């Protein structure tokens, strides 16, 4: 098991294996989603239920600051890791925790409102689930 942990954080990589790819995918996906949303380019049949109600429009837009902070911290993590700064791990942890919270908040709302659509549930389940192993790896690494 020690060798597996060592390989996941092997030099010169200070981040767990796969985290760079996840950050690139998630952070660019947030930028693409908000660009499509801003220009109303998402087809109506893909939108979540009751999107014409002002309160739900506000609810959706309330995620913009959090999602942008996630993208910024994700890209900052990649920049710091490229510079071999150990601050990258701390910033990565912040980004992962915010990502988990954003996905959980969206899913919680849809559970309470009885709205179930795989188009929205799959990406938000991913946002909840993908950070967990990376958070655990970072905590386990720091506990050594």
The residue extents of the domains of the chain are 16-143
What angle is formed at CA 23 by the lines to CA 1 and CA 13, rounded to 5 degrees? 45
CB 110 within 8 A of CB 121: yes
pLDDT values of the chain reduced to their tens digit, one per residue, 144 residues = 455 454 444 445 789 999 999 999 999 999 999 999 999 999 988 887 888 899 999 999 999 999 999 999 999 999 999 999 999 999 999 999 999 999 999 999 999 999 898 999 999 999 999 999 999 999 998 877
User: Which tokens go with 10?
Assistant: 């092997």
Q: Which residue has the tokens 């946002």?
A: 127
Structural tokens at position 60:
């959706």
């Amino acid at each position: 098991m020690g060798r597996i942990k060592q390989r996941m954080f092997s030099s010169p990589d200070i981040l767990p294996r796969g985290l760079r790819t996840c950050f690139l995918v998630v952070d660019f996906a947030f930028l693409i989603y908000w660009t499509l949303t801003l220009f109303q380019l998402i087809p109506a049949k893909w939108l979540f239920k009751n999107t014409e109600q002002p309160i739900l429009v506000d609810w959706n837009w309330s995620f913009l600051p959090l999602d942008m902070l996630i993208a910024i911290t994700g890209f900052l993590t990649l920049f710091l890791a490229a510079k071999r700064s150990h601050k990258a791990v701390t910033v990565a942890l912040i980004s992962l925790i915010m990502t988990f919270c954003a996905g959980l908040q969206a899913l919680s709302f849809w559970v309470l409102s009885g709205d179930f659509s795989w188009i929205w549930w799959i990406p938000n389940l991913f946002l909840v689930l993908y950070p967990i192993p990376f958070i655990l790896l970072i905590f386990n690494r720091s506990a050594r």
